[in-house]
Amino acid sequence: MAAAERIDTPEIFDEDLIERIQRGDRNAFDTLYERYFPRVSGYVRRRVNNRADVEEIVQDVFVNVFTSLDSFRGDAPFAAWVLGVSRYTIAGRFKKKQHKWVPLDGAMREEEGESPLGDQQREPSPLEHYECRERLAEIETAARTRLTLDQWQLVELHHVKNHSVRRMASDLDRSEDSIKSNLYRARKLLLAR
């Protein structure tokens, strides 16, 4: 893409790119692809060990992103939505490609406490789900009881709505240093046990 056609600047938000894509702007999709390719590629690579599969899945993810853009409602950050599409694309691929797995030494390894799958990713256990929900409840309680409304607004804008510090400073008419300092204090309060 020529430098004059490049539209990826920090001032252009994902939502703006999505609108352009929906109007048929190919450069906007190229920009979105370049913006999210490293995240999607890393996400898939951590879950799939085969390089060829990783490349195919990443391409499938972006096809799915493009064809599903109308379903993005903006309730969560676009990055989270893209990673959700990635997760479903990976899961769909594994459903199609399930082979019967017969471990040669699996029985012995299971008795020794090792998983026959080695270091491959696995679904979280019910206990892990429970612990995650408990930690989330602790953070929500801390947010209600320990944070000021201003601190909560900053946390929500930055960590939930995925706004940059620069954008927050501009929108709230405050300095970036002030935003960073207040975010730091809020995170410290939230993560304290």
Tens digits of per-residue pLDDT, 83-121?
989 988 888 877 665 555 555 554 444 445 555 555 556
Angle separating helix axes 78-96 and 14-22, nearest 10 degrees: 60
Q: To which H or E segment does residue 136 belong? A: helix 126-146
- CATH 1.10.10.10 maps onto the chain at 122-191
Are residues 21 and 28 in contact, defined by beta-carbon separation less than 8 angstroms? yes
Radius of gyration, alpha carbons of the chain: 21
CATH 3.30.70.580 applies to domain 122-191? no
Report pTM.
0.46
CATH 1.10.1740.10 in the chain is located at 3-96
pLDDT in tens, 154-183: 888 888 788 999 999 999 999 999 999 888
Topology (CATH level 3) of domain 3-96: Rna Polymerase Sigma Factor; Chain: A (1.10.1740)
